[in-house]
Structure 1
Amino acid sequence: MIFAARRGREAPTVLVLHGWRSRTEHMRAIIERLVAEGFRVVALDLPGHGASAGRRLNLALAVAAVRTTADWFGPFAAIVGHSFGGAVAVNAVAGSIGDIAPVEAKRLILVASPSSMPAIFEDFGSFLGLGAHTQLALAGEVQRVAGHPLETYVAADQLRGLAVPTLAIHAPDDKEVAFEEARRFEAAGPHVRLLRAPGMGHRRILANQSVTDAIADFTLAVPGWRGIEAG
């Protein structure tokens, strides 16, 4: 779904990614704020979500969808990802999935996003009561599908190797993705900034004006934007 700014195709493009069991509609406040600033916004419904086809989703499928979107509409001035969408954004830019080429973005904005895929799989296994052998088999399946061992999919570690300015926005009271994940992003290097959004939880954060303002301001700081706008 494309939301066109006044300058249309001439405007720098921002890719917006929703989270797990979500859809583009839930990112509307962020999309409208970016369009109001003159950006062209491409909002992607990930496979099996929203208006997109398919019945399943994993990190590899999501990154492949982002790569295809970049082939059509990239490079991106910024990628904004909420929750799982933030993890997808980092992995797409890092080029961590098999033979899928990295996606170019000048900035990353990670809203309530997890850092550690291994921790997510461990929590999931504990919730289901999986034994050690089954957990090991599950990790092996990740490597088969994604092309690398599960332990390599830690977004904070990936950010250390990227020279991409990053804004992590997270609520200390988030009950779905622990605030400690955002602290790990912040520790990745001076190119990562952490913005606390107290009281916003995991989903209310998407509609908060202070958050949408921060996302717009961070994206407007992309080198060359003001020159394009003035042209």
Structure 2
Amino acid sequence: MKEKYKKYLPLIIGKYIQCLFLFYPKKAIHKAYILFCTPRKGKVQPEQEYFLEKAEDETILISSTHIQTYRWANTGETILLVHGWESNTHRWKTLIKKLQEKNYNIIAFDAPAHGNSSGKILNIPLYTKCLQKVIELYRPNYVMGHSVGGMATIFHQYSYPNNEIEKLVVLAPPSELSRIMTEYQDTLKLSSKFMTALDQYFKNKHGFYFEEFSISEFSRNLTQKGLLIHDKNDDIAPYSEAESISQNWNGVQFISTENYGHSLFFDEVDTIILDFLKA
């Protein structure tokens, strides 16, 4: 019964929002936007707490949201880790241990509505704003982002060009908001008229239409040396979008994997990352 409910829940929500749109269009569009930006999971689980408690922690306030930061202090260069959607800093556990062995000073933080941070929503412009504040505070040499964290890493450099950041590592990033929103439309069965209104809402709020918000296009502005890793069989972020990013990012090293999945939790991937940082 539970599985059947989960299957039909998006359709029920979509019908409700679509119906609301007929009578209260502004309210319906706002609800659709908030729903899109609301993660269903990503908070720290009990089994994840022990590892995170070993870090030096500090909470910073960004626009009424308390952002949880973590630091594994060391004498080497500073690297900032940026996790993905419905995740948290714990996803870096294995790589953090390897970075510690190489004496890197490691910084990470939980995105709004994720991990031990407060908030209820997350989107790339908000994530980017938080990323900028953390960078101002810790001044990293390198930034590494996974998935939506990779999107934020690139959009951050587009929005706040920072020549002090020497290298970027981007793992399994989606690129095209237009493709993501088409999938959102298909999931909720929203009308074209509704999506046109939602598109305008996004433009008014963030300055971009869906078609204009392209990580691939933003990559043209990158000046840092980069490492981009993406699996050919990634079922969450299309491999073709990573190819587009690599074509527009001057000086990037593009590594393709096969059957490593979206998370890329493999020793071979960690070795590639460590070699790139050391070079």
TM-score, normalised via structure 2 length: 0.71
1:214 partnered with 2:278: no
- What is the rounded CA distance, in whole Å, between the counterparts of 1:105 and 1:138 in structure 2? 35
Among all aligned residue pairs of Structure 1 and Structure 2, give the percentage whose two residues are the same amino acid.
26
Cα deviation for residue 34 of structure 1 reads: 2.2
2:155 alignment counterpart: 91
The answer on whether the counterparts of 1:168 and 1:193 sit within 8 Å (CA) in structure 2 is yes
Deviations 1:28-72 (A, max 9, x none): 122222222221111111000001111111112111110110111
Instruction: Give the structure 2 partner of residue 37 of structure 1.
Output: 102
**Is contact 1:168–1:194 with CA below 8 Å preserved after alignment?**
yes
Aligned equivalent of 1:139, options 199, 204, 212: 199
Q: 1:114 aligns with which of 174, 177, 183?
A: 174
In the other structure, the counterpart of 1:4 is 73
* 1:155 and 2:155 correspond: no
Structure 2 CA distance for aligned equivalents of residues 199 and 45 of structure 1: 28
CA RMSD of aligned residues (A): 1.6
CA–CA separation in structure 2 for the residues paired with 1:147 and 1:24: 29
- For structure 1, list consecutive stretches of 5 or more residues without a partner in the other structure: 96-100, 222-231
Give the distance between the partners of 1:144 and 1:30, measured in 2 at CA.
39
Q: Which amino acid aligns with 2:213?
A: Y
Q: State the alpha-carbon separation in 2 of the partners of residues 141 and 33 from structure 1.
A: 43
Match of 2:91 in 1: 26
Please state how far the C-alpha of 1:186 moved relative to its aligned partner.
1.7
CA distance in 1, matches of 2:207, 2:105: 33
Q: Between Structure 1 and Structure 2, whose CA radius of gyration is higher?
A: 2
- How far apart in 1 are the matches of 2:77 and 2:199? 38
SS of match in other structure, 1:200: coil
Tell me if the contact between 1:33 and 1:213 (Cα under 8 Å) persists in the aligned partners.
no
TM-score by length of 1: 0.85
List, as ranges, runs of 4+ consecutive aligned residues in structure 1 with deviation greater than 4 Å: none
Q: 173-182 or 188-197, which moves further after superposition?
A: 188-197
Q: Secondary structure, in 3 states, of the residue corresponding to 2:122?
A: coil
Q: Which amino acid aligns with 2:173?
A: S
The 5 Å alignment of 1:192-231 reads 192-203=252-263, 205=264, 207-221=265-279
| 3-state secondary structure, aligned to 2:248 | coil
Aligned length, in residue pairs: 209
What's the counterpart of residue 231 of structure 2? Answer: 171
Q: Tell me how far apart the structure 2 counterparts of residues 91 and 193 of structure 1 sit (CA, whole Å).
A: 18
Q: 1:212 deviation in Å?
A: 0.8
Q: Point out the more displaced range, 43-52 or 150-159.
A: 150-159
The answer to which structure, 1 or 2, has the higher relative contact order (CA under 8 A, 6+ apart) is 1
Contact 2:82 / 2:145 at 8 angstroms: preserved in 1? yes
For residues 148 and 165 of structure 1, what CA distance do their matches in structure 2 show?
27
* CA–CA distance in structure 2, aligned partners of residues 40 and 4 of structure 1: 5
Does the 8 Å contact 2:82/2:150 carry over to 1? yes
Residue segments in structure 2 that go unaligned for 5+ positions in a row: 1-69
C-alpha contact (below 8 Å) 1:168/1:195 kept by paired residues:
yes
CA distance in structure 2 between the partners assigned to 1:209 and 1:61 by the alignment: 32
SS of equivalent to 2:229: strand
Q: Aligned AA for 2:135?
A: A
CA distance in 2, matches of 1:145, 1:35: 40
